[in-house]
């Protein structure tokens, strides 16, 4: 069972979703296919896999209806990537460097 929030690395960015269903709704099938999301974790550090699910059905036995959606599944049952999740979050959440007012910069 995945424990939200869902944290997704976007090759230079970070996406955080409050739930698995929210993440599945917002991620684009084309982006998943293109490899835009190299790694994802739940809050415990469980490695997740983001995949495209294809559903096909026949309407009246003649018409073919194909729908694709994004699906997020646990890649492991026991969370073993907590350190990797910590490192990913640390790249984006950290102390903000102090900004010196222009009047102090002139006196240097």
Instruction: Say whether pTM exceeds 0.75.
Output: yes
Q: Average pLDDT in the 34-55 region? A: 97
**For residues 54 and 82, what is the distance between their CA atoms, to the nearest angstrom?**
31
Residue 2 has pLDDT above 60, yes or no: yes
Residue 106 has pLDDT above 70, yes or no: no
In contact, 72 and 3? CB cutoff 8 Å: no
**For residues 11 and 87, what is the distance between their CA atoms, to the nearest angstrom?**
14
Q: To which H or E segment does residue 71 belong?
A: strand 63-74
Q: Average pLDDT in the 99-106 region? A: 63
């Amino acid at each position: 069972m995945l424990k939200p929030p869902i944290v997704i690395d976007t090759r230079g960015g970070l996406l955080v979703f409050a739930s698995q269903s929210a993440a599945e709704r917002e991620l684009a099938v084309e982006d998943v296919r293109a490899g835009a999301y190299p790694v994802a974790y739940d809050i415990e550090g469980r490695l997740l896999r983001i995949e495209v699910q294809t559903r096909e059905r026949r309407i009246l036995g003649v018409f073919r209806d194909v729908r694709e959606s994004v699906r997020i599944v646990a890649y492991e049952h026991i969370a073993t990537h907590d350190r990797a999740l910590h490192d990913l979050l640390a790249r984006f959440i950290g102390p903000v460097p102090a900004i010196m007012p222009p009047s102090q910069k002139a006196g240097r």
